[in-house]
Amino acid sequence: MKLRLQQQKEPSELLRSHNLRVTPQRLEILKQIQRSEDHPSATELHRKVRRKFPNISLDTVTRTLEQFAKIGICRWVEGYDDVRRYDGIIERHHHFHCIRCKRILDVQPEALEEPPLPSVRDERFKVIDFRIILEGICKKCMEREHDP
């Protein structure tokens, strides 16, 4: 069973519920991030959105994604490089990072024993959420190692 976005609202309704003007470009960016299973960067999403809107700029896609992440329509994903990556799944789930190819894969919450939110006694911050990051070598990379 694949983990996918559980939001009940249609993309246009979701944008309106966050007081965002519904434009064809925003709708396409939202649809692409919701469909994506590979935690794309703004550049990767820009390439996909340009198929439908050839004149859309990378800056527009980046600013839109940043706005979506700030209001909770998508999430930023922790990564290995300086490129910010995005996730259309906003429900709690975890990630597996391949140390070879840098892919980020979703891990089903039920695949891990869900630990309780830690109670940290530190006045400098308050914990409100957490994510587990597993690191290793993905199946594709392991298969490449065994290929002649």
2 is a domain residue: no
Residues linked to residue 86 through DSSP beta bridges, in sequence order: 76
Q: Judge whether residue 63 has pLDDT over 60.
A: yes
Same domain? 80 vs 119: no
Is the pLDDT at 129 greater than 80? The verdict is no
Instruction: Tell me the CATH number at 116.
Output: 3.30.1490
Check pLDDT > 70 for residue 144. yes
pLDDT at 116 over 70: no
Instruction: Dig out the tokens for 65 from the structure.
Output: 């994604």
Residues 83 and 99 in one domain: no
The predicted-structure confidence for 22-49, as pLDDT tens digits, reads as follows: 999 999 999 999 998 889 999 999 999 9
pLDDT higher than 60, residue 2: no
> What residues make up the domain containing 108?
94-146
Residue 3 counted as domain residue: no
Q: What is the DSSP letter of 39?
A: -
In a domain, 34, yes or no: yes
Report the C-alpha gap between 41 and 52 in whole angstroms. Answer: 18
The residue behind tokens 């959105």 is 49
Strands (E), 32-89: 75-77, 85-87
pTM score: 0.77
Q: Is there a domain that residue 118 lies in? A: yes
Please indicate, yes or no, whether residues 78 and 141 belong to a single structural domain of this protein: no
Residue 23: other Cβ atoms inside 10 A? 14
DSSP 8-state secondary structure symbol assigned to residue 70:
H
For the cut 70, the answer to whether the pLDDT of residue 148 exceeds it is no
Q: What count of residues does the chain have?
A: 148
Asked if 82 and 119 sit in the same domain, the reply is no
How many structural domains compose the chain?
Answer: 2
